[in-house]
């Protein structure tokens, strides 16, 4: 069976100069894709030539204040050989766009929608790039580092709780300030159950 770093080297042979730095740490291999516009091509080669048939996750990292601003990380897995491979590429704030890999792995659809919704990274060629967590028309991308921790004011009524949360004081919520741990448990309030 091949190791992840051997598969990463094979990927470099298949796609050539687009694959930059290869690193190995604790048995995991990471490949840096130098040209973000070619990420779909690299992903397709990883799937078709090297057997990475699953996209486990797609994550984005905000490096606010530097250029390129974002790193997009693709976590791949091959069922046949049992190896993981991590692909990384950088995206600048000016373009903030990558080609979609939803044509390579269908699971990329929702992962890319989340990256768009939370970070504002666009995926060209995506079949349905719209918000997945925030509501339509929400003007911000809340996981960006320049988004304030306290949030932004909204003119929409009842967007956030203005009253106590629905479970506050409910039968499954512990009671603060009692003498000991067993007395805080919800079961202690209803001993007959």
The pairing of strands 84-91 and 70-77 is antiparallel
78, pLDDT greater than 80: yes
pLDDT at 190: 58
> Where in the chain are the domains?
4-136
Higher pLDDT, 183 or 78: 78
**Lowest mean pLDDT across 69-73, 99-103, 183-187:** 183-187
145: left (phi over 0), alpha (psi -120 to 50) or beta: alpha
Over the chain, what is the mean pLDDT? Answer: 86
d(CA 31, CA 7): 10
**pLDDT level of residue 159 (50, 70, 90 thresholds):** low
For 41-53, the pLDDT digits (tens) are 999 999 999 999 9
166, pLDDT greater than 60: no
Report if pTM > 0.75: yes
String of DSSP letters for 4-43? HHHHHHHHHHHHGGGEEEEEEETTEEEEEES-GGGHHHHH
pLDDT at 148: 82
172, pLDDT greater than 60: no
66, pLDDT greater than 80: yes
pLDDT at 177: 61
**pLDDT level of residue 35 (50, 70, 90 thresholds):** very high
The correct answer on CATH 3.30.70.20 for the domain covering 4-136 is no
Tally: H helices and E strands in the chain: 4, 7
d(CA 97, CA 145): 18
For 99-146, the pLDDT digits (tens) are 999 999 999 999 999 999 999 999 999 999 999 998 888 888 999 998
Map tokens 């479970």 to a residue.
Answer: 167
pLDDT at 27: 84
């Amino acid at each position: 069976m091949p190791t992840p770093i051997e598969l990463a080297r094979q990927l470099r042979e298949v796609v050539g100069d687009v694959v930059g730095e290869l690193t190995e740490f604790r048995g995991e291999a990471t490949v840096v894709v130098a040209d973000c516009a070619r990420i779909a091509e690299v992903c397709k080669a990883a799937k078709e030539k090297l057997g990475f048939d699953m996209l486990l996750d797609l994550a984005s990292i905000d490096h606010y204040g530097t250029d390129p601003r974002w790193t997009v990380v693709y976590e791949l897995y091959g069922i046949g050989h049992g190896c993981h491979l991590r692909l990384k590429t950088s995206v600048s704030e000016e373009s903030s766009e990558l080609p979609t890999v939803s044509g390579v792995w269908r699971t990329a659809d929702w992962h890319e929608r989340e990256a768009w919704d939370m970070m504002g990274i666009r995926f060209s060629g995506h079949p349905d790039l719209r918000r997945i967590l925030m509501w339509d028309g929400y003007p911000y991308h809340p996981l960006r580092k320049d988004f304030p921790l306290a949030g932004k004011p909204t003119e929409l009524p009842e967007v956030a709780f203005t009253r106590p949360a629905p479970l506050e004081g409910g039968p499954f919520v512990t009671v603060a300030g009692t003498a000991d741990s067993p007395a805080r448990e919800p079961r202690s309030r209803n001993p007959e159950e």
